[in-house]
Structure 1
Amino acid sequence: MERLSVNQITVKHWSFEETVRGLARHGIGWLGAWTGPVEEYGTRRAAALLRDHGVKVSSVCRAGFFTGRNPDGGGLDREANRRAVELTAAIGGDVLYLVSGGVRDDLDLPRSREAVAEGIAELVPYAASAGVRLAVEPLHPMMCAERSVTVTLGQSLDIVERFEPAHVGLAVDTYNVWWDPALHASLARAGDRIIGYQVCDWLVPQPHPTFGRGIPGEGAIDIPSITRAVGAAGYTGPIEVEIFNEGVWATDPDDVLATVVAGFGRHVLG
Structure 2
Amino acid sequence: MTLDFLPPHVQIRLGDYARLLRLDRPIGTLLLLWPTYWALWLAADGMPSAANVFIFTLGVFLMRAAGCAINDFADRKIDGHVKRTKDRPLASGRVKPFEAVALFLGLALLAFVLVVVFTNTLTLYLSFGGLVLAFIYPFMKRHTHLPQLFLGAAFSWAIPMAWAAEAGEVTKLAWLLFTANLLWTVAYDTVYAIVDRDDDIKIGVKSTAILFGDADRAIVATLQSLVILVLIMVGHQAGLGAAYYVGVVVMACLFVFQQHLIRHRQREACFKAFLNNNWAGLAVFLGLLVDAFV
Whose strand proportion is higher, 1 or 2? Answer: 1
Is the radius of gyration larger for structure 1 or structure 2? 2
Quick check: TM above 0.5? no
Using structure 2 for the length normalisation, give the TM-score. Answer: 0.27
- TM-score when scaled to structure 1? 0.29
Q: Which has the higher helix share?
A: 2
